[in-house]
Each structure stands twice: as C-alpha cells, then as structure tokens.
Structure 1
Amino acid sequence: MKRRDFVQYAGLGSGALMMPSLLMGNPISQEALLAPRMDVALKKQLADVALNTAKSLGASYADARIGRYLNQFVITREDKVQNVVNTESFGVGIRVIVNGTWGFASTSTVTEKGIQEATNQAVGIAKANAILQKEPVVLAPTESHGEVSWKTPITKDFREVPISEKADLLLSANAAAMEAGASFVNSGLFMVNEQKYFASTDGSYIDQDVHRLWPFLNVTAVDRAAGKFKSRQGLSAPVGMGFEYMDGLDSEKVAGPAGMNLYRNSYDIIEDAKMAAEQAKAKLTAKSVEAGKYDLVLEPNHLGLTIHESVGHPLELDRVLGYEANYAGTSFATLDKWKSGDFKYGSDIVNLVADKTQVGSLGAVGYDDEGVKTKKWDLVRNGVLVNYQAIRDQVHMIDQNASHGCCYAQSWNDVQFQRMPNVSLEPGTEKYSVADMIKDVEKGIYIAGRGSYSIDQQRYNFQFGGTVFFEIKDGEIAGMLEDVAYQSNTQEFWNSCVKICDKDDYRMFGSFFDGKGQPSQVSAVSHGSSTARFNDVNVINTGRTI
C-alpha cells in the first residue's frame, strides 16, 4: 500500500477502522462515485461467457456475479472533518458444480478473456475438490426468473448529496453536543451502494441496486475533578434506505421514557447528539445498580442485538450442523429439538420471523446471491421452534425442497454462503405502549441502546449490557442507573417474555458487521421488534469487583 493511501485510510477514525473488509477497493473521486451503472446488456453478455464456458467444461451448474461495490465515509470530530473517502471495488465471481462438487474463482479483469480464465480456474478447483467429496452437492430447485431487476426504494441517493451537506450536518450535531456539555464527540456517515448482477444456468439474469446507510455518533462527558468519564452512543440504526433517513421527520419519532426521543424511518442526529451529551453527563452521577432480579423493559435498539446473538445465530442451519464449529461455534438448537415439534424456545407470545423483504432493513433485497426470490418465514411460532435458515444446498437436510433465499457474499471476490436474514420479534397484537408497560412494572429497569455482550459457543448462556439504563419503581421512572448487565440463557430468557408493545412501537436495530465463515466475511442485517418485557431476569453490577 502506498503511504498516501495508508494515511487516507488511517484517518477514517475508530469506527471505520473496525470495517477492514468493507474498505476493499480503490479510493475514487466524487465524479467516479457518480459514474453510471454498467449497461445491463453488457452484463448479460459477459455473464453468458462464464455460463457457456462452464457448461463446455462439464459443469452441471454455474452462476456468475458481476459486482460494483461503492462506499463513502465521512468522519468528523468536534469542529473538524477528519476525512472523506470514496472507494470502489469491481469484478466478477464465478461458481460452478462439476462432478457434484463446488468450485469458485473470481477476477477483477471484467473482460471476456478474464472471465473465461476465471471460469477455467473455478472448474479446475471443483475437479480437484471432487477427489475428496464424499457426497454430491444437492441443489434445491429454484424458479427461472428470466431478466428482472430490483432496487432499494430510496428518495435520496447518498451519492448525489453534496459532501458539504453531509459534513455540515455532522458538524452541527457535534456543535449541539458540545453546547450541551460534551467534552468530546465523534460522528460519521458510512454509505454503501452495491450494484450486483447475477446470472445462472437456471435461466435467471437479475440486476439489483442496493443502498445502505449508517450514521454513527459517540459523545463523551468528562468529570476532570473526579477523574471519570462516561460516553453515550447515538441511538440511530443502520438502515437499508437512502439519505432520506437523515431528514429527522417529527412524524417518525417514537416517544420513550424520561423525555427520550427514539427514531424510526428517519433520524434527527442533531437532537440525538444534544440528548447524548445530557445523558453522558447524567451517567457521571447516576446510581450504581444493586444486583438482583428485575423485570426488564428492553427497547428495540437494544433488543435487536440480543435477538441477533440468541436467535439469529443459533438458528443458522450450517451452524446447527456443525459446519461453523471450528470458528464461530455450534448451536444448542439441535435438530432433535426441531424434530420434536414442541421445543419451547420462548413463551407463547414469542413469534420470531426471518424476512429478507422487510422495507428499510439492511438485509432487504429482491433476490439472494443464488438467484432465489427472497421471502419471509417463521423460525419460532407461539414460542415453539419451527424452522431454521437454509439455502439451496442445505434444505434437503431438513426435508424441505425450497431454499429460504438467504445466501450472500460480501463482495464479488467472495463465495456466497448461508447468511443470517433479518430476524425479528413480531409486535404484540393488542394496543399497548411503552408507557403502559412501565406502569405495569413494580421493580424493573428500562434499557435502551447497545452495549458490551458475551455469549457462549452454543449461543446459550449470555450477558448483555446497554447504552442507557433507567430504574423503574412502582410503575414510574425513578432515575438513571449505571453498571447494568443482565445474565440468562437463551431458552430461559425468551420464556420470560411476558409482554410486547404493539406495532406503533416497532423499530429496527441493524449491523453491517455480522461476521461468519473462514475466510471471514461480514454481512448487513437488521432485527426488528417492539419494546418487550422480560420478568425476573438476573442483573449484575459490572462496576463492582469482589
């Protein structure tokens, strides 16, 4: 790497430095970021080179993915813009089945010759792998879609919004936090456009234009006399939307306790920055929690992470089957529990669904990276485990004949494999607000936002923290708490769920960084819920040592 490029990347800030796999590609200009998409007819012509070459070399199946991946980062601190970076990655990945075995190769030389050479390599890898293959790949049938397209429904393309407007918005948020008493503040925007073309020997030619956005904020208050500091992260969520998410429309705010505004479908970063500063200062003098049993009121931005770790991961079929044991672990939700038909994953009101079609979610696409049309399906219904997440070469293992449509690769030069779809908790069916829920709690804690967490290799025993905590006494908020974390196991926790707010409170948490596989890949996924109550959960004090 050239020194100039290193300095440019190094200035992205702490948030962006956690995204190494998303920095792949070359720095490009703003003009290049706005360059038009490749002509669809040319994509089809190039994809056919891969498919025809693969068939001529004996492949029983082949697919090709032509991808242009665009990223933009805008990073600020206090009154300064630290960096603005645009990156682009462009190439093609080719996957084949030869002699009942997978082979994959990729190239950034997106020409007929380059694609022919990569296809030859993919076929050669499949033939070499076939020597060790014990059972042939079994692909579930999928519909031939012909020539189709899909695009994230957006009203503002981030690429067309001037950088000056983005920087001004972030600096205004920083200024609001500093005026409200913050000592330090960092903020930034991470924006993604995936231009993906998929073609397969099944007869599908699918062109997709995927947009995602993540505004991030961290505010710190310092008590120099006491030698203490506290921070509060922003309460935004990464979304599968355009820049309209940053409009902060009043109609999209959801009222929380203690005067908090929470955000759905749009985000007011200036307002959140101001409240973050006020809450970071309040955390400096907040009461330390007394360990014990509490009823927990968990808001969606917090609960999404718990869903991700205790539901999303353990119900990935490849993990259940042990394919991830060497790296990410296994799962307590083994096949015998599913086959029994009565395994109580949660209480009767717990309905957990997988959904790759959810508008505004990070995982929303029209078709997955195997050309399967995406859908919604049950994982847990009325508290009972009913299904897993599986793709074309897995579903026969659970006696099903259609992929769930949750196959994904983080880029054109990575092989696609089973990834977590959006996994969400359905809202309650009766009218019931957060205020109603708090009134029903005698001794409890309201938790908002994400914090540190730990969960074992089977996704069973866990501990979760949060961003802000409020004590609930006799149906009222009694003040802020600190040093809060709760401990449970997955089945015990979800069976303690006694109440869920209605759809008016439904919001999504998201992450760009769901890691899995060797070599590791990341994927973007959202988790929706309404605020939910879990009774008699063990809370520990993280600030005290024995």
Structure 2
Amino acid sequence: MKRRDFVHLAGLGIGGMALAVPITGKAVSVERFLEMPLDNAQKKALADVALNTARANGASYADVRIGRYLNQYVFTRENKVQNIVNTESFGVGIRVIVNDTWGFAATNEVTPDGIKKATEQATAIAKANSKFQTDPVKLAPVKSYGEVSWKAPIQKNAFEVPVSEKVDLLLSANAAAQEAGASFVNSSLFMVNEQKYFASTEGSYIDQDVHRIWPTFSVNAIDREAGKFKSRNAMSAPMGMGWEYMIPKAEDKLQGPDGMMLYRKSYDIVEDAGIAAMQAKGMLSAKSVEPGKYDLVLEPNHLGLTIHESVGHPLELDRVLGYEANYAGTSFATLDKLESGDFKYGSDVVNIFADKVQEGTLGAVGYDDEGVQCKRWDLIKDGVLVNYQAIRDQVHIIDQNESHGCCYAQTWQDVQFQRMPNVSLAPGNDPYSSAQMIKDVEKGIYIAGRGSYSIDQQRYNFQFGGTVFYEIKDGEIAGMLNDVAYQSNTQEFWNSCVKICDEDDYRFFGSFFDGKGQPSQVSAVSHGSSTARFNGVNVINTGRSI
C-alpha cells in the first residue's frame, strides 16, 4: 500500500468511527464537487452502448445506471476539528434479463469499451444463472418517459458553502453546549449529492439530482462526585434539502416541554446544543421511572423510529415472502393478513402511507432505480392493512400490475432492489396540539428523540427507549425521568393509538444510513408524523437489574 493511500484510509477511519458511518468513494478536492464530468448527451450515448450491447447478446430487457455520488462529512469535538471527508464515486451499473433470468455487472471505466465489457459480463452471468432458474422473472409494465429530468427543489447547494463556514457553525454549537454546562460535545455534518442517470430498453432516459443533509451532535454532562453521566443527542432530522435547512426560521420552531425546541423544515443547531446541555444536566438529578402502565405522548422525532421498525420494515414485500431474512429478519405481516381484508394493524385513527414524492424528505425522488415514476400509496387505512411495498418483479405476487416505485441501489456498483420508501403516519383531522394532548393525560410520559431499541426477527415484539423523558401528572409536566423504555408488540401498540395531533405539529424523523440486504446496502428514508398518544403501554425501568 502506498503511503498516501494509507494516510487517506486511516483518516477516513478516524472520522467514520465518530458515528460508525459507511464511507465510500475516492478522496477528492472540494472543487471537484462543483464540476460536471459528463453532460446528458454524453450520458445518453454511453447508455445506448449498454442497451445495444445487451440486445445483441440476447437480453429481453436491460437497464443502465450512470451514477456519480458525492459525500462530504465534517466531524468536530469541543473546539477542534476531528476530520473532514470529501469523496466521489463514479461508475456504471448494468442489469439485464436473459432467458428470463437477471444478470448484473458494474464498472468504474466510464467509456464505451468499459461499458461494453461490463454489459457482456452481465449477460454472461444471466445466461449462466438461467440454467438453475425455476421461476422466470416477471416485470410489471412501466411507461416509457423518453428524456426527462428531476431535481431536488433545494434553495442552496450545500456543496457550494465553504467548509470554513460549516466548521464555524459546528464549533459554535459545541461552544453553546459547553457554555450551558456540557462536559463533552461532538458534532457532525453529513452532506450527500446523488447524480443519477437511468436508461432502459423500454425507452426511458432519466436524469436526477438528489441532495441530502444531516446535522447532528451528542452532548454529555458529568457529575464527577456521583460518578454519573448523561447524554442528549440532537433533535435534528436528516432531510432531503440543501443548506437552507441550516438557516433557522422562527416559523419552523415548536415549543416542547421545559423549554425544549422542536424543529420542522429548518434547524437551529446552536440553540439546540445549548438546550441539550441543560437537559443533560437535568437528567443527572432526575428521578428513575416507576415501572407500570402509562399513556405515552410520543413526539415525531421519537415516533419515526418506531414507525420505521414496526411498520416500514415489516411491510417490505421481500421480508413478507421470506426473501430477506439474514439482515433484520422477515415479517409477521404475512400475505394471509392482507388477503383477509380486515387485519387490524392499528386503531381506527391510524392511517399510514408510503410516499416517494414528499418534498424535503430523504426518500423523495422523481423516479426510482427501475425508471418507475414515484408516487404515494396507502399501507394502513383506518387501522386495516391494505398494501405492501413492492417493485416491478414482485407486484404480480400480490396480484397487482404496477410497481410502487421503491427500487433503489446505494451506488452504481450495487444492484438495485426493494427499499423502504418514506413511510409516515397521517396527522389527525381535527385541530389538536401537543399541549392539549398533555392536558388530557392523567398518568403518562412524554418521550422525545430517538434512543436504543430492540425488535424481534418478525418485527413484532419490541422495546424502545428515547432521548428525553418527562412525567405527566394530571395534565401537567411533572419533571424529567430517567431509565424509561416501553415494551409492546406491533399490533397491540398501534391499536393503543387513540389520538394524533393535527398537521401543524407534523414533522420528520429520518434514517441516513438504513441497512438492508446481503451484501449490505444503505439507503436514506424519512418518516413523518404528528405527536401521537398511545394508552396503557407497558413501561419498564432500564436501570434496575432483574
């Protein structure tokens, strides 16, 4: 290994360990982010090389993805910069059907010769696999869109903002936390730009420009005499937005309990870091929860993770069918539950939908990685299971003839497969705020922010923690709590949902690095909701030994 390669990889490791995030691509200069290696005419010509080669080698279908993936990660701690990572990944992935069998190959040689060789390899793989194919691939029809484009409706490209400005913002947040009493603080900023060009033998040539951003931090407060420490993570959400998310707007702030601020489509990281330090200090003296049954008031930044694990994953059709099992299990929501037409996944107020076009979300795109135009569809309607998440070669299994448009690959070198779209809980129809909800609770707990969790291999029995917890007594916040986690099963939990705040309270939770598959791939997905109330949920004390 060359010395410069060792230094590069070691540097990535130091930064990556800060949050154990996947880092892919080749290290590049910041200036490289604003260059455009190919225009659309060049991409189309290269795509046609793959499509024509595939046809000549016996393919009944082929698609090609020319992808350029840009990543910038900034890591800081207290008053120091730990690492700055700038990477680019650029290449082509070709997928074909020959003899009713899939084949796939990829190359970083983005030239006519390189693409021709990769396409020939993909068709050869399909022909070899076809000897063992028992069920022919069946693709749902899709419209030919011709030459189209989609761009994330960002206001300011985060890659155009100087690195020094990003560092100053993170260090300002760290300083605010320390001034408010934090013993330690680290902060990070993740920015991603996916430039994707898709073409298929069905006549679509689709160019897309996707942007995502995630500011986050962790604050620690220490009581050295007592030998205790408490942490509070950021109340930010990863978003499918540009730098405008980092410019605070008063109209995007909601007041939570005890001075806590909650954020919608813009985020004040400096303000949140200062509040986080005060809350972490408060946790040091907060009382430990008494186990028992409580009414839970769950705010969206917390509830999103519960939606993700107990609704998003179990309604992926490949899990339902048992095709996905090694990575986080299968699903209890088997086909017979959909076919019955009356399986009560939740109470009557629970309406959960999938959406690949919801503006500002991590999963928002115009077309998926199979060239299917994205849309919104219902998963749970009035508490009843009504659909799954499925792609072109799956929907015939559930007697549908249109893909849901939720196929995705993490990079050009990975084969696309079914991934979770944005899965969200619809807000309530009647005017109702979180403050009103708290007033209606006699004995309960308000939970904000995501925490540790556990769920079984069928996505059924689970346990969730959170970031901050407040006791509710007779309609009033009665102080902070420690050691809170709630246990339930998916059907019991969602059937205990009795009230959901209106759309004024609606905001997002997000997962920037959601893993699935063997070999593993990550994707980004958002989950929207308003604050919701769940009655009579079992709460345990995580600080007591059994």
What TM-score, normalized by structure 1, do the two folds share? 0.99
Equivalent position of 1:204 in the other structure:
204
Letter in 2 for 1:326: N
Match of 2:405 in 1: 405
Q: State whether structure 2 residue 312 is matched by structure 1 residue 309.
A: no
Query: 1:513 is paired with a residue of what secondary structure?
Result: strand
User: Where does 1:290-369 land on structure 2 (aligned, <5 Å)?
Assistant: 290-369=290-369
1:150 aligned partner: 150
Q: Per the alignment, in what secondary structure is the counterpart of residue 241 of structure 1?
A: coil
Are 2:12 and 1:14 aligned? no
Measured in 1, the distance between the counterparts of 2:140 and 2:16 equals 44
Q: 1:229: which partner in 2?
A: 229
Is the 2:101–2:137 contact (alpha carbons within 8 Å) kept by the matching residues of 1? yes
1:275-294 correspondence runs (5 A): 275-294=275-294
Q: Deviations over 1:268-314 (max 9, x none)?
A: 00000000000010011111000000000000000000000000000
Query: 1:167 corresponds to which residue?
Result: 167
Asked whether 1:4 is paired with 2:31, we answer: no
Conserved? CA contact 1:37–1:195, under 8 Å: no
Secondary structure of the residue aligned to 2:301 is: helix
Separation of aligned partners in 1, 2:12 and 2:445: 41
- Residues in 1 aligned to 2:405 and 2:327: alpha-carbon distance in whole angstroms: 24
Once the 2 structures are TM-superposed, how far is the Cα of residue 173 of structure 1 from its aligned partner?
0.5
Q: How many residues align?
A: 543
Q: Post-superposition shift, 1:247?
A: 0.4
> 1:252, CA displacement in angstroms?
0.7
User: What's the CA shift for 1:336?
Assistant: 0.4
Aligned equivalents of 1:470 and 1:421: distance in 2?
32
- CA shift, 1:35, in A, is 1.1
- The 8 Å contact of residues 326 and 518 in structure 2, kept in 1 or not, is answered as no
Say yes or no: does 1:220 pair with 2:220.
yes
2:392 is aligned with 1:389: no
Report the more deviating stretch, 135-144 or 29-38.
29-38
1:26 aligned partner: 26
**Structure 2 equivalent of residue 445 of structure 1:** 445
Distance 2:220 2:38 in 1: 44
Relative to structure 1, the CA distance from residue 13 to residue 92 in structure 2 (aligned partners, 3 Å threshold; closer, same or farther) is closer
Deviations 1:130-172 (A, max 9, x none): 0111011000000100000001111110110011110111010
Q: CA deviation at 1:512?
A: 1.3
Q: Distance in 1 between matches of 2:260 and 2:474?
A: 20
Between the aligned partners of 1:24 and 1:166, the Cα distance in structure 2 is 21
Alignment of 1:32-111 (within 5 A): 32-36=32-36, 38-111=38-111
Give the structure 2 partner of residue 520 of structure 1. 520
| Greater mean alpha carbon deviation, residues 4-13 or residues 104-113 | 4-13
How many Å separate the matches in 1 of 2:103 and 2:376? Answer: 30
Q: 1:133 — aligned with what?
A: 133
Aligned-pair Cα RMSD in Å: 0.8
Q: Contact 1:46–1:112 at 8 Å: present in 2 too?
A: yes
Q: 1:419, CA displacement in angstroms? A: 0.3
d(CA) in 1 for partners of 2:379 and 2:129?
34
| Corresponding position: 1:498 with 2:498 | yes
CA–CA distance in structure 1, aligned partners of residues 219 and 37 of structure 2: 38
Native 8 Å contact 1:185 1:218 kept in 2: yes
Q: Within 2, Cα distance between the matches of 1:537 and 1:396?
A: 38
User: Does the Cα contact within 8 Å between 1:444 and 1:471 map onto a contact in 2?
Assistant: yes
Partner of 1:425: 425
Moved segments of 4+, more than 6 Å: none
Amino acid aligned to 2:95:
R
Offset, 1:255:
1.6
Deviations along 1:21-79, one digit per CA (max 9) or x if unpaired, are: xx111110011122125200000000000000000100000000000000001111001
**Unaligned ranges ≥5, structure 1:** none
Amino acid corresponding to residue 205 of structure 2 in structure 1: Y
SS in 2 for 1:232: strand
Matched residue, 1:269: 269
AA in 2 matched with 1:93 = G
2-structure distance, mates of 1:484, 1:104: 47
Question: 1:82 is aligned with what amino acid?
Answer: Q
**Separation in 2, partners of 1:306, 1:121:** 42
Give the whole-Å Cα distance in 2 for the aligned partners of 1:472 and 1:13: 39
What is the deviation of 1:13?
Answer: 5.2
In 2, the alpha carbon distance for the partners of 1:524 and 1:325 equals 20
SS where residue 445 of structure 1 aligns?
Answer: strand
CA separation in 2, counterparts of 1:539 and 1:42?
Answer: 59
- Look up the SS of the partner of 2:536 in the other structure: strand
Q: CA deviation at 1:10?
A: 2.5
Instruction: State the alpha-carbon separation in 1 of the partners of residues 18 and 200 from structure 2.
Output: 37
Map 1:186-201 to 2 at 5 A: 186-201=186-201
What amino acid does structure 2 have at the position aligned with 1:8? G
User: Residue 113 of structure 2 aligns with which residue?
Assistant: 113
Structure-2-length-normalised TM-score = 0.99
* Partners of 1:473 and 1:371 in 2: CA distance: 53
Q: Return the letter of the residue paired with 2:203.
A: G
| Distance in 2, Cα, partners of 1:195 & 1:302 | 31
Per mean C-alpha deviation after superposition, the further-off stretch among 530-539 and 255-264 is 255-264
Alignment partners' CA distance in 2, 1:44 and 1:7: 38
Checking the alignment, whether the CA contact within 8 Å between 2:497 and 2:535 is kept in structure 1 is yes
Residue type at the aligned position of 1:306: T
Q: Distance in 2 between matches of 1:327 and 1:278?
A: 38
AA partner of residue 5 (structure 1)? H
Q: Which runs of no fewer than 5 residues in structure 2 stay unpaired? A: none
1:14, distance to aligned residue in structure 2 (A): 3.4
- Given that residues 363 and 422 in structure 1 are in contact (C-alpha distance below 8 angstroms), is that contact kept between their aligned partners in structure 2? yes
Q: Any conservation in 1 of the 2:471–2:479 contact (CA below 8 Å)?
A: yes
Residues 288, 482 of structure 1: 8 Å contact kept: yes
Deviations 1:397-445 (A, max 9, x none): 0000000000000000000000000000000000000000000000000
Q: Distance in 1 between matches of 2:6 and 2:544?
A: 45
